C-alpha cells in the first residue's frame, strides 16, 4: 500500500516501482527511459495524456496505400502490433483498385445518451409531467448546446421510457444527438447531466412518488450511426488464383460469410478480423477503439444471436461484399488537436470530416475481412500470416542480420512454423 502515489514526481514513481518490484535493478529503469521522447516538450505532452505516466508504449505505425474509395485514392494509416494486418489490407486495396474500388456511404449519424432514474409512483402521472416539461429540459441545456446548434448539430429528441418490466421502478430519458465532426462524448454527457437536474427540479418534487437519478451517461451502442462499405464486380473478374476458378472462389467466399452469419463461434473470429483493420485506423486517428469495439459487437448481436458484420451475395453473375457497422467517430476534439501523429494521420487522409472518416474506417474493416476470407478459402490463413510472423520469431531468438537474410530466403517457398524456424536457426549456429 502506498499513499499519495499520484503526487510523486515521475522519477519518484519510477524509483518506487523499481525498488518494490525489480529489486532496485537499474536495467529495468533503462527499459523505461529508452522509450522517453528526447523532445522534452513532446514528452511532457505525452505524460499529461493520462495519469501516473512513467514512459511511452510504442506500437508500429504503418500505412496501406491504393485504397480507392468513392473515386478518391487514399493511403490509410494503421497502428497495430499484429503481423500481416497492414499487408493484408494493402493486398485487398490493390485487388479492388482495378475492379472499381470501394463504395461507402453514411446511412445515419444519430448518437445516444441516457438518464437512468427510479420512480416509485404512478407511471401515467410521470409521463404526463414529462410532456409538460420536455421543452424546459431542452431550454435549460441551451448554454451547452448553443455552439453545437450553430454548426448544425444538437439535441434531436428526448423520450421518456418505462423500463419497469426489466427492473422495478426503472425509467430512463432516452436522448438522441447530432454531434457533427466531434465524437461528442463530453457534449452528450454534459447535456445529460443538465437534463437530469431539470427533471429532478421540475418533476421530482411534484409527483406522488420518489424520483431519484441513478446516472447520466452516453451510450457506445449507436445502431443509428451506421456506415456501409461495399465492393462489387463480375464473378468472372473476381479471382487471380490459378488453382481455383472465379466461380468456385465466389461460391466458397459467400458460403464462408454465411457460416459466420449463422455460427457464433466462427462469427467472433470473423468479426475480430474485421476489427483488426478498423481498430488500427481508429488508433491512428486518435479515436476510442474500445467504444467502437463494444458498439460493433453489440450491433453484431442485435437480432438475438451474435453474427457476422459483413455479408456477401452472387446475383446474376455479380459478386457483392459489404459491411454495415456503427461508427461514432470524431475529427475534432480529444487527441485530434494534441497528438502529433493523429494530426499527421488526419492530414494523410485529407483532413476528413467525421462522415468521411467513418467511410475510410468501414472500408479498412471490409478490406481486412476480404483478405482474410480470400486466404481462408484458397491457400489457408497460415501461409501468409506465418511468413509475416517469421521476422518476429527471428527477433525472439535474437538472430543477427546474416541469419535473418539466410532464413528469410530459406522460407520463401516453405511453410513457416515456430519449430521449423528454431530447427533451421540451430542448424546455422551449429
Residue 164 and residue 126: Cα distance in Å, rounded?
Answer: 13
| 82 among known catalytic residues | yes
Which is the catalytic residue, given 10, 13, 47, 82?
82
Strand ranges inside 261-415, DSSP E: 310-315, 318-326
Q: Do the bridges between strand 170-178 and strand 103-106 make them parallel or antiparallel, or are there none, so unpaired? A: unpaired
Rounded to 10 degrees, the C-alpha dihedral 41/46/50/55 comes to: -110
Burial 5-22 (b: 16+ CB within 10 A, else e): eeeeebeebbeeebeeee
Q: What Å distances lie between residue 106 and 110, 242, 323, 358, CA to CA? A: 11, 37, 12, 7
Which is the catalytic residue, given 272, 302, 414, 427?
272
What residues have CB less than 8 Å from 352, skipping those under 6 apart?
Answer: 331, 346, 360
Rounded to 10 degrees, the C-alpha dihedral 87/361/100/351 comes to: -110
Residue 207 and residue 227: Cα distance in Å, rounded?
Answer: 43
Residue 330 and residue 144: Cα distance in Å, rounded?
Answer: 18
User: 47, 7, 54: which is closest to 28 by C-alpha?
Assistant: 54
| 385 among known catalytic residues | yes
Contact by Cβ (8 Å): 115, 196: yes
Contact by Cβ (8 Å): 357, 285: yes
| 409 among known catalytic residues | no
How many residues are given for the chain?
430
User: 209, 230, 183, 216: which is closest to 68 by C-alpha?
Assistant: 230
User: 207, 118, 217: which is closest to 162 by C-alpha?
Assistant: 118
Residue 58 and residue 220: Cα distance in Å, rounded?
Answer: 27
Q: Could you list the active site residues?
A: 82, 272, 288, 385
Amino acid at each position: 500500500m502506498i499513499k499519495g502515489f499520484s503526487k510523486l514526481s515521475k522519477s519518484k514513481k519510477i524509483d518506487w516501482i523499481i525498488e518494490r518490484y525489480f529489486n532496485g535493478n537499474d536495467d529495468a529503469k533503462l527499459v523505461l527511459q529508452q522509450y522517453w521522447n528526447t523532445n522534452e516538450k513532446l514528452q511532457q505532452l505525452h505524460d499529461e495524456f493520462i495519469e501516473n505516466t512513467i514512459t511511452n508504449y510504442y506500437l508500429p505505425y504503418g500505412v496501406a496505400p491504393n485504397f480507392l474509395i468513392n473515386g478518391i485514392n487514399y493511403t490509410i494509416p494503421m497502428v497495430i502490433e499484429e503481423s500481416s494486418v497492414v499487408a493484408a489490407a494493402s493486398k485487398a486495396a490493390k485487388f479492388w483498385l482495378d475492379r472499381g474500388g470501394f463504395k461507402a456511404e453514411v446511412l445515419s449519424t444519430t448518437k445516444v445518451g441516457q438518464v437512468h432514474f427510479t420512480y416509485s409512483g404512478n407511471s401515467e402521472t410521470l409521463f404526463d409531467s414529462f410532456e409538460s416539461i420536455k421543452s424546459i429540459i431542452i431550454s435549460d441545456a441551451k448554454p451547452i448546446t448553443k455552439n453545437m446548434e450553430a454548426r448544425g448539430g444538437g439535441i434531436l429528441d428526448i423520450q421518456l421510457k418505462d423500463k419497469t418490466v426489466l427492473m422495478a421502478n426503472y425509467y430512463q430519458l432516452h436522448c438522441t444527438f447530432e454531434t457533427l465532426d466531434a465524437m461528442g462524448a463530453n457534449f452528450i454527457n454534459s447535456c445529460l447531466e443538465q437534463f437530469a437536474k431539470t427533471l429532478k427540479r421540475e418533476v421530482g418534487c411534484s409527483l406522488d412518488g420518489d424520483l431519484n437519478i441513478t446516472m447520466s451517461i452516453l451510450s457506445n451502442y449507436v445502431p443509428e450511426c451506421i456506415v456501409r462499405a461495399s465492393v462489387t464486380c463480375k464473378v468472372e473478374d473476381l479471382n487471380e488464383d490459378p488453382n481455383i476458378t472465379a466461380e468456385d472462389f465466389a461460391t466458397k467466399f459467400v458460403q464462408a460469410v454465411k457460416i459466420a452469419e449463422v455460427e457464433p463461434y466462427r462469427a467472433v473470429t470473423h468479426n475480430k478480423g474485421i476489427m483488426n483493420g478498423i481498430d488500427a485506423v481508429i488508433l491512428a486517428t486518435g479515436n476510442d477503439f474500445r467504444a467502437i469495439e463494444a458498439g460493433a459487437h453489440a450491433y453484431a448481436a442485435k437480432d438475438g444471436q451474435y453474427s457476422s458484420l459483413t455479408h456477401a451475395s452472387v446475383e446474376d453473375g455479380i459478386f457483392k461484399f459489404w459491411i454495415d457497422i456503427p461508427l461514432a467517430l470524431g475529427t475534432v476534439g480529444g487527441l485530434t488537436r494534441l497528438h502529433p501523429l493523429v494530426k499527421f494521420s488526419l492530414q494523410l487522409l485529407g483532413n476528413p470530416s467525421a462522415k468521411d472518416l467513418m467511410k475510410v474506417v468501414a472500408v479498412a474493416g471490409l478490406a481486412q475481412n476480404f483478405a482474410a476470407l480470400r486466404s481462408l478459402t484458397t491457400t489457408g490463413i497460415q501461409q501468409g500470416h506465418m511468413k509475416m510472423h517469421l521476422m518476429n520469431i527471428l527477433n525472439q531468438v535474437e538472430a543477427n542480420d546474416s541469419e535473418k537474410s539466410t532464413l528469410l530466403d530459406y522460407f520463401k517457398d516453405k511453410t513457416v512454423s515456430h519449430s521449423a524456424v528454431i530447427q533451421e536457426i540451430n542448424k546455422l549456429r551449429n
